[in-house]
Amino acid sequence: MEITKRFDRQVAVVTGGSDGIGKHVAKRLAAEGASVVIMDRDTPATDDELRQHRQITFQAGDVSHEADVIKAMDAVIAQHGQLDIVVHCAGIVGQNSTKITEVECETFDRVYAVNLRGSFLVTKHAIARMINRDYGRVLLFASIAGKEGNAGMCAYSATKAGVIGLTKSAGKEFAETGITINAIAPAVIHTAMVEALDPWQVTYMTDKIPMKRCGTLDEVAALSCWIVSPEASFNTGAVFDLTGGRATY
Ligand SMILES: NC(=O)c1ccc[n+]([C@@H]2O[C@H](COP(=O)([O-])OP(=O)(O)OC[C@H]3O[C@@H](n4cnc5c(N)ncnc54)[C@H](O)[C@@H]3O)[C@@H](O)[C@H]2O)c1
């Protein structure tokens, strides 16, 4: 019997796919049949395991720059002729373990540009390339910080709250099409992003998780891949919880 893979003949863009959550999601999408284009400001190392997947290619770009986003999306259409899935993982934390009175305006603006303007640009230019086929799956990454506000992370928390608003708004705008726009709001998943945080900040966040552990990359990839699969057809504008019980709403 022929085994069908969920993403056979589908084309996916994963931003921030050179590392962390995006890298794991990219590998799972490719393993399940998708052609995956990673858009990241950093090129994965030449000997990286990502290179072993023939269906994964790389497009350099900064998600906060509109010209880079357009160039990457156009390159995907030129190469593959279609765009089915976007998983937008590129994001930064900026200053942490820092009260708002000590946060520099420039660093706030940079976190805004990557996390919120980047989410806006990627969503806008992805949908524009999905609409002609009346099918698409856009998945953004918010955070528990956007739902609850983490002390010490005002720029990150504010921009992730913005991602939640963007998801709800865009989801409703395209609800009568075959395109869904959803988000995941994780608690703590061990990646380079978390390793770079101040230890006080990591303890603050992990102590609030009722399951008393961090989420795993496999858990994030499993939920992400379901949300961007054809099966997930009655969810849009939704923010999926992935917090080990911290946010039960
Ligand atoms: N790890 C967690 O605990 C956690 C929790 C909640 C939400 N998130 C969110 O999940 C997403 C992925 O996080 P992660 O932990 O994998 O981070 P990470 O730092 O491990 O990886 C982020 C990737 O994004 C890329 N990137 C950063 N800025 C970019 C830009 N301007 N343009 C293009 N690429 C850029 C980096 O090069 C890197 O490859 C982020 O949006 C993050 O805010 C993560």
- pLDDT, tens only, 53-97: 889 999 999 999 999 999 999 999 999 999 999 999 999 999 999
Rounded Cα distance, 194 and 20, in Å = 10
pTM: 0.97
CB atoms within 10 A of CB 59: 19
Kindly state if the Cβ of 191 falls inside 6 Å of ligand 1: yes
| Average pLDDT of the residues in 106-132 | 98
pLDDT given at position 53: 84
Q: Considering only CA atoms, which of 153, 24, 128 is closest in space to residue 70? A: 128
Please give the share of the chain, as a percent, with pLDDT higher than 70: 98
User: What is the Å distance from ligand 1's center to 1 Cα?
Assistant: 39
> Which residue's C-alpha comes closest to atom 2 of ligand 1?
189
> Which residue's C-alpha comes closest to atom 37 of ligand 1?
42
CB atoms within 10 A of CB 198: 15
16 CB contacts (<8 Å, ≥6 apart)? 22, 39, 40, 63, 88, 89, 90, 91
Fold annotation for 11-239: Rossmann fold (3.40.50)
Banded model confidence at residue 49, pLDDT cuts 50, 70, 90: confident
Judge contact between 241 and 247, C-beta under 8 A: yes
Kindly state if the Cβ of 42 falls inside 6 Å of ligand 1: yes
pLDDT given at position 236: 98
Kindly state if the Cβ of 217 falls inside 6 Å of ligand 1: no
Rounded Cα distance, 69 and 40, in Å = 10
User: What is the Å distance from ligand 1's center to 41 Cα?
Assistant: 11
Kindly state if the Cβ of 223 falls inside 6 Å of ligand 1: no
Catalytic residues: 156
> Which residue's C-alpha comes closest to atom 12 of ligand 1?
89
Amino acid at position 50, single letter:
L
Kindly state if the Cβ of 25 falls inside 6 Å of ligand 1: no
User: What is the Å distance from ligand 1's center to 14 Cα?
Assistant: 11
Kindly state if the Cβ of 143 falls inside 6 Å of ligand 1: yes
Q: Is the pLDDT of residue 1 over 90?
A: no
| Average pLDDT of the residues in 182-199 | 96
> Which residue's C-alpha comes closest to atom 1 of ligand 1?
189
Banded model confidence at residue 2, pLDDT cuts 50, 70, 90: low
Q: Is the pLDDT of residue 117 over 60?
A: yes
Vertex 213: Cα angle to 212 and 218 (nearest 5): 150
